[in-house]
Amino acid sequence: MILTIDVGNTNVTIGVFEGKELRAVFRMTSSPVRTSDEYGIYLCSLLEHRGIDPAAIENVVISSVVPDVMYSLNSAVIKYFQTRPIIVGPGIKTGIKLVTGNPKEIGADRIVDAVAAYTLYGGPVLVVDFGTATTYDLILEDGSFTAGITSPGIRISAKALWEDTAKLPKIEIRKPKSILAKDTITSMQAGLVYGYIGQTEYIIQKVKEESGLKDLRVVATGGLGKIIADETDAIEIYDNKLTLKGLRLIYEKNR
């Protein structure tokens, strides 16, 4: 079995693969930073809770955009699973060619998503990840990662509303029944969700226009992505396990 770990700014998402089958998915918060023993015991407990013997984990693959967790997490994998993890970074085989201005600036999560979308759905493909930030990454037919756009995530936008204004409350992020809101909460929900749908559609349209790729396939992922993907025809595929699948594919290329 393969343990795949994606460390994001908000959550750590963990997947267990048996061959190509995703057996289990877990999530934990990215902060606070834990010790190696805390990570190890936590991971083993999650596996055992699902009836998976930690000793059955043969290899571990990690992508991370949070450098502070890596020393403890890497140590935990070595100590509790008796294997050195594959860490997505320079020198790792991905099958994706990074042809942007500074390839080292591209986050590991974006590379992993690109690998998954290109391998599973073909190119050219635009990968939209609705995470802490929302990213749009263009991968051409030959596997070249050629452009990326980054915007504030929908949760960051919502947080700015209720933290930077005196009278607006914290709300659930969901689409209201109508954009014609009649109270404060639904007016905030309408602005967030409908506004984000508009942003998503416009960015996708402009990418298609400027790249000349009218038949560009659009694949979305990320926790809040389904809210947006369900409301627009601009997104062709929503795959909320895209990053975990990408980590498994990278393991296959590097084992």
Of the residues 6, 53, 109, 164, only one is catalytic, namely 109
* CA separation for the pair 216, 98 (Å, rounded): 19
Alpha-carbon span 65 to 125, nearest angstrom: 23
Beta bridge partners of 127: 137, 219
Instruction: Count Cβ neighbours within 10 Å for each residue of 197-236 and write b for 16 or more, e otherwise.
Output: bebbbebbeebbeeeebeebbbbbbbbbbebbbebeebbe
Query: Is 113 an active-site residue?
Result: no
* Active site (catalytic) residues: 109
